[in-house]
Structure 1
Amino acid sequence: MKRVGILGGTFNPPHIGHLIMANEVFHALSLDEVRFMPNAIAPHKRLVDDASTENRLRMVEIATGPYDQFKIESIELALGGVSYTYHTMLELKKREPDVQFYFIIGGDMIDSLHNWYKIEELIKLVQFVGLKRPGSQSSTTYDVKMVEAPEVDLSSTFIRERFKTGKTLEFLLPTGVESYIRKEGLYGTR
């Protein structure tokens, strides 16, 4: 049975923390691949300075391009609307019934699992895989397989703020993502 990790998010923009999470889980669980899954509209995040769906997808393609173990999963973009993991995983399981999916989440998401849409049904569809994140409890009553990994205190919000203030982004973004952002004039770089 194929073993596939799913790392969902807004990826607004994708940063090295995302790559580290995906890579750590890929190796720790001996997965066949990890798919980065940009959402259409996140149920818990709405930002004024969002990059377009096309920009976010392109940045994820650039970020993951050099790594054979990383793929793109665009199902939520194709479905459109608010992205609920439960609906997405139902569709993926229907499309790929012989795949065991591992849904990768950080400590902040672990702490809020009890609030996820249809969580009781969702935990029957996927194995959650968690990585601790500074500032979070990384604790839940639900079954989450924890993976030891470097705790990277980095967020897309932090990256967007760096663009606005003109501070260094060196070592924070995957190769090619910063130049794409500047070329497209995203996050106040116009």
Structure 2
Amino acid sequence: MRVALFGGSFNPPHLGHQLLAFYVLETAAVDELWFIPCWKHPFDKDLESFTHRFRMTELAAAALGPRARVSDIESRLGGEKSRTLLTIKGLQALHPEHEFFLVMGADLVPELPSWYGSEELRRSVPLLVVGRGGYPGQFPLCMPMVSSTEIRNRLHKGQSVQGLVCISVLAYISEQGLYGPSSDDET
């Protein structure tokens, strides 16, 4: 099976993430796309708990149908920081029968040489580069201007995020009291 891997903080997952996932599923000749919420951000950004981010990502993936799944590989690997190379190696060891591809925004490609084990990463998995933020990619998707940071800031100020996150994720955020004015999350 051909599997696209889409890693991120998903803090929270938003419609831009879903649109990118749908686009990859429909254009990249893959059988499935696996969202991979990071365990610990490699640059020490404050994140909502892995449990909440994983659940919200499950809700976002469910809206895309059975070809979109969420992997907890990074929580199982643990560690002080998430490292894409270690995640890929872990998945390849668990699923040697699958062919993996790494989804990456074109805006991140210039940063790739600074990533942990970047040369080995590039040898280990083909990249599916999606255009983003004025950077062209092999897949010319025009992404909406939405970010998790903007969503968290709006929620913290008590502003609406309707139309930026799917209804099920918005309901979960509300039920759990995430990112709101009483939340400790300032990022």
Identify whether the pair has TM-score above 0.5, normalized to the shorter chain: yes
Alpha carbons 1:9, 1:37 under 8 Å: kept: yes
| Residue of structure 1 in register with 2:73 after alignment | 75
C-alpha distance in 1 between matches for 2:44 and 2:141: 26
CA drift at 1:42: 1.5
| Residue of structure 1 in register with 2:100 after alignment | 101
| Residue of structure 1 in register with 2:2 after alignment | 3
| Residue of structure 2 in register with 1:41 after alignment | 40
Letter in 2 for 1:54: T
Counterpart secondary structure, 1:104: strand
Counterpart secondary structure, 1:17: helix
CA drift at 1:137: 3.8
Alpha carbons 2:41, 2:82 under 8 Å: kept: yes
* Structure 2 unaligned spans of 5+: 183-187
Deviates more, 1:4-13 or 1:108-117: 108-117
Provide the alpha-carbon RMSD of the alignment. 1.5
Letter in 2 for 1:133: R
TM-score norm. by structure 1 comes to 0.88
CA drift at 1:45: 4.2
Which 4+ residue blocks in structure 1 deviate beyond 4 angstroms?
none
Alpha carbons 1:133, 1:152 under 8 Å: kept: no
- Residues 140-180 of structure 1: CA distance to partner in whole angstroms, max 9, x if unpaired? xxxxx721212222211011011122332121102211111
* Structure 1 unaligned spans of 5+: 139-144
Alpha carbons 1:182, 1:189 under 8 Å: kept: no
Alpha carbons 2:20, 2:143 under 8 Å: kept: no
C-alpha distance in 2 between matches for 1:108 and 1:157: 17
In the TM superposition, what are the counterparts of 1:4-153 in structure 2 within 5 Å?
A: 4-47=3-46, 50-66=47-63, 67-81=65-79, 82-134=81-133, 136-137=134-135, 146-153=138-145
TM-score norm. by structure 2 comes to 0.90
Number of matched pairs? 180
CA drift at 1:189: 4.7
| Residue of structure 1 in register with 2:185 after alignment | none
Alpha carbons 1:133, 1:153 under 8 Å: kept: no
Letter in 2 for 1:132: G
